[in-house]
């Protein structure tokens, strides 16, 4: 995948500002790039690092001096993205079409064309996998699982019975879809399990991070809407419904029957109580604890959450509590002195 700097400039639509035949064999950030790699500087604060970088070349805006060969572009971050795509290992190299002989595939399962099934993967009765999709090594599709076309299921993925996965979905290692929801009826002798007979439905273009758990609905569906992106180690409980293009950061947990809108952004380690209605375009700060419904476009933080601006002011007040306490003490003494001065008795004990 090595290219010369002239080709690189053409690929990113930039102006060559260095030797045309310079060989570039990879990309990296400015601080950690090595010889032969192309880096980028998208913000003036990284210009200092450019002076000492070991990179062979840099993507840079016009008008900024560069100590190393450069390709001049309007948007270095966007150009870098194009280079990442160039240097990415093609999916077909990692996962060439074909069924590994060690995979266990039930005769009733239906596989599309050019599907990859990795070593020791297991595809159970009634399952289907769409064209060009990948089922990674040791992954398990239990029973009546539907996976669309152009999906990428890495290794160690567990899809419980009746799970439905759309097209172009990426499921990272260790993802569990369709585990039983946490539903128990208390009885005098202990908990009675409430059967969880619904399913999980994942829309097109969804990406779900490593070791994420999505529970099946008690009845009906737990839904992850099209284009939503879920980071590692997130917990999504039974009957949750997540809209489209919503992004959820790592280790967040969403309790049962929450409905989350479109284009929502949830920070890391957030918790949502059950049965909440979260509107569209809501933004929830990291580590927040949400216990109330949130209207469209709300931006909230804190445990429990409040509008982000209020939360910042409260944090400032909390940081000043020592001063407030001192002022109260000082005021009490001054009031005592005034009372002595004027001969007034205190109106009551504080």
Instruction: For the CB of residue 308, give the shortest distance to a copy of itself in the complex, in Å.
Output: 13
Backbone torsions φ then ψ of 146, nearest 5 degrees:
-110, 125
Tokens of 299: 């931006």
Tell me which of 49, 273, 280, 307 binds a copy of itself, using CB under 8 A: 273
The residues near 69 (Cβ < 8 Å, ≥ 6 apart) are 5, 17, 18, 19, 22, 56, 57, 58
CA distance 81 to 79: 5
Query: Quick one: CA dihedral 46, 49, 55, 57, positive or negative?
Result: positive
Please check whether residue 268 is in contact with residue 284, taking contact to mean a CB–CB distance below 8 angstroms.
Answer: no
Give the interface segment with a copy of itself, choosing from 4-12, 59-67, 108-116, 150-158 (CB under 8 A). Answer: 150-158
Rule CB under 8 A: say whether 42 interacts with a copy of itself: no
- The nearest distance, CB 248 to a copy of itself, in angstroms, is 9
Distance CA 182, CA 240 (A): 12
- Catalytically annotated residues: 238
Mark residues 279-318: x for contact with a copy of itself by CB under 8 A, - for none. Answer: -------xx-x-------------xx-x------xxx-xx
Q: Which of 156, 166, 203, 261 binds a copy of itself (CB under 8 A)?
A: 156
Q: Which of residues 60-89 bind a copy of itself (CB under 8 A)?
A: 78, 81, 84-85, 87-89
Query: For a copy of itself, what does the binding mask look like between residues 100 and 129, x meaning CB under 8 A?
Result: x-x-x-------------xxx-x-x-----
Beta bridge partner(s), residue 278 = 260, 294
**Ramachandran assignment for 316, one of left (phi > 0), alpha (psi -120 to 50 degrees), beta (any other):** alpha
Name which of 63 and 169 has its Cβ closer to a copy of itself: 169
Q: Min. distance of Cβ 194 from a copy of itself in angstroms?
A: 6
Q: Are 57 and 5 in contact (CB under 8 A)?
A: yes
The whole-angstrom separation of Cα 136 and Cα 40 is 34
> Is residue 331 close enough to count as binding a copy of itself by CB under 8 A?
yes
229 lies in the binding site for a copy of itself (CB under 8 A): yes
**Nearer Cβ to a copy of itself (1/20):** 1
């Amino acid at each position: 995948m090595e290219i010369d700097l002239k080709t690189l400039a053409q690929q990113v639509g930039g102006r060559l500002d260095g030797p045309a035949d310079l060989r570039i064999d990879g990309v990296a950030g400015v601080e950690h790039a090595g010889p032969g790699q192309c880096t980028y500087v998208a913000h003036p604060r990284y210009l200092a690092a450019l002076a000492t970088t070991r990179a062979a070349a840099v993507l840079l805006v016009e008008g900024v001096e560069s100590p190393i060969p450069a390709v001049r572009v309007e948007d270095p971050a966007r150009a870098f993205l194009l280079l990442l795509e160039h240097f990415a290992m093609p999916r077909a190299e990692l996962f060439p079409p074909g069924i590994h002989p060690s995979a266990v595939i039930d005769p009733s399962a239906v596989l599309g064309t050019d599907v990859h099934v990795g070593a020791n993967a297991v595809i159970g009765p009634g399952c289907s996998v769409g064209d060009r999709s990948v089922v990674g090594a040791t992954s398990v599709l239990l029973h009546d699982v539907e996976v669309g076309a152009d999906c990428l299921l890495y290794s160690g993925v567990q899809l419980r019975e009746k799970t439905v996965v759309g097209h172009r979905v990426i499921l990272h290692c260790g993802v569990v879809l369709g585990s039983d929801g946490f539903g128990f009826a208390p009885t005098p002798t202990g908990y009675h399990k409430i059967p969880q007979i619904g399913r999980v439905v994942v829309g097109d273009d969804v990406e779900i991070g490593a070791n994420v758990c999505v529970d099946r609905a008690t009845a009906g569906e737990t839904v992850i809407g099209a284009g939503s992106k879920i980071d590692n180690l997130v917990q999504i409980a039974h009957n949750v419904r997540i809209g489209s293009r919503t992004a959820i950061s790592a280790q967040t947990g969403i309790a049962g029957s929450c409905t989350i809108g479109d284009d929502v952004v949830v920070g890391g380690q957030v918790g949502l109580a059950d049965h909440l209605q979260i509107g569209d375009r809501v933004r929830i700060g990291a580590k927040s604890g949400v216990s109330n419904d949130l209207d469209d476009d709300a931006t909230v933080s804190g445990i429990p959450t409040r509008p982000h601006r209020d939360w910042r002011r409260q944090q400032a007040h909390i940081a000043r509590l020592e001063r407030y306490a001192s002022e109260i003490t000082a005021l009490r003494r001054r009031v005592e002195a005034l009372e002595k001065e004027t001969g007034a008795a205190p109106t009551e004990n504080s």
